[in-house]
């Protein structure tokens, strides 16, 4: 359960926290939007101080129905952010959240350490080849369609079985391209409705059969705030509850907006296992 980031072996047998930095004007959780260099650095520093192992930087909102963003615009958002953070905090392990091979390549050249692809290569045929050449860890997520169409593609005969089969094919493809470190993200909220998200969380331990680390991205999503009839801004408590369950189901990485609370969940759940 280790991954190689810039020559450093990161042990995921103790779960790690990934802080979300959205360099976008339209991410679903408005308080997570950071567009000026000052705000980016402030958010990054706070997350690192609170214990984040990784920072996940994205310049393309993947919320349902999000607007299309050109490759150039995505690059203009994320590359300066990566460079600024690494200039001030050179040891930071940055994940680039993109489904485009060109953005992944440029971000790694700018100093990012890993690629987080919501489409697992389905939206860019060059992605896995590029990641294999870059020799960086690859987070592959389960999703059908695109961010614009995914909510219409949630018809499953057996959700967990189909997710596991999807990953078995994608893992083989990644290995064929020379990708050594693969992390699985079941894709909560992506081409899945609320009841399906709960089903996926309830059976998430079955993903352990792949023998690979699993990332859980539940933070402040509609599964929480719609179920609790609140807003994304009021969904921190619900996020902590579901993150705790995800940890008990084997999550190796929590991708979150709120690092401090996720670190507390990791600490408390780890005490149960000792």
Output 273 or 153, whichever has higher pLDDT. Answer: 153
At 155-212, the pLDDT tens digits run 999 999 999 999 999 999 999 999 999 999 999 999 999 999 999 999 999 999 999 9
At 105-156, the pLDDT tens digits run 999 999 999 999 999 999 999 999 999 999 999 999 999 877 777 777 889 9
265 dihedral zone (left: phi>0; alpha: psi -120 to 50; beta)? alpha
Q: Is 255 considered catalytic here?
A: yes
pLDDT for 68: 80
pTM greater than 0.85 (yes/no): yes
**Which residue from 100, 99, 84, 174 is spatially nearest to 132, judged by alpha carbons?**
174
Per DSSP, helices labelled H in the chain are 37-50, 71-88, 101-109, 127-134, 159-176, 194-202, 222-227, 236-248, 259-273
Question: pLDDT grade, residue 28 (50/70/90)?
Answer: very low
- Cβ atoms of 185 and 139 within 8 Å: the answer is yes
Query: Would strands 8-11 and 54-58 be described as parallel, antiparallel, or unpaired?
Result: unpaired
**Which of these is catalytic: 249, 255, 260, 271?**
255
Which CATH number does the domain housing residue 246 bear?
A: 3.20.20.20
Output 117 or 69, whichever has higher pLDDT. Answer: 117
Q: Is 221 considered catalytic here?
A: yes
In the numeric block, which tokens belong to residue 199?
A: 């089903």
**Which of these is catalytic: 77, 144, 221, 249?**
221
Q: How many domains does the chain have?
A: 1
Burial of 250 (0-12, 13-18, 19+ CB in 10 A): middle
- With a cut of 60, say whether residue 29 has pLDDT above it: no
- With a cut of 90, say whether residue 245 has pLDDT above it: yes
pLDDT for 66: 64
- With a cut of 50, say whether residue 95 has pLDDT above it: yes
Parent domain of 102: 2-273
| Sequence-separated contacts (24+) of 200-203 with Cβ below 8 Å | 200/159, 200/160, 200/163, 201/242, 201/245, 201/246, 201/249, 203/160
- Cβ atoms of 105 and 130 within 8 Å: the answer is yes
């Amino acid at each position: 359960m280790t991954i190689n980031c810039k020559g450093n072996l990161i042990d995921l047998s103790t779960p790690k926290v990934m802080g979300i930095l959205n360099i976008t004007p339209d991410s679903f959780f408005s308080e997570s939007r950071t567009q000026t260099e000052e705000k980016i650095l402030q958010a990054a520093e706070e997350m690192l101080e609170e214990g984040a192992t990784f920072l996940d930087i994205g310049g393309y909102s993947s919320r349902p129905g999000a607007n299309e963003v050109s490759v150039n615009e995505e690059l203009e958002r994320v590359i300066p952010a990566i460079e600024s953070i690494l200039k001030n905090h050179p040891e930071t392990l940055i994940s680039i959240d993109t489904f485009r091979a060109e953005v992944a390549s440029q971000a790694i050249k700018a100093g990012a350490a890993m690629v987080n692809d919501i489409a697992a290569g389905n939206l860019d045929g060059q992605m896995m080849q590029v990641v294999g050449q870059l020799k960086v860890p690859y987070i592959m997520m389960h999703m059908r369609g695109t961010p614009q169409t995914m909510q219409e593609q949630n018809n499953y005969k057996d959700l967990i079985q189909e997710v596991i089969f999807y990953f078995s094919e994608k893992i083989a493809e990644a290995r064929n391209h020379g990708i050594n470190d693969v992390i699985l993200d079941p894709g909560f909220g992506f081409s899945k409705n609320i009841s399906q998200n709960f089903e996926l969380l309830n059976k998430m331990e079955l993903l352990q059969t792949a023998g690979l680390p699993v990332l859980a991205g539940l933070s402040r999503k509609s599964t929480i705030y719609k179920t609790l009839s609140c807003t994304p801004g009021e969904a921190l408590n619900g996020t902590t509850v579901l993150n705790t369950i995800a940890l008990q189901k084997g999550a190796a990485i929590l991708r979150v907006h709120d690092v401090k609370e996720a670190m507390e969940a990791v600490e408390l759940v780890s005490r149960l296992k000792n």
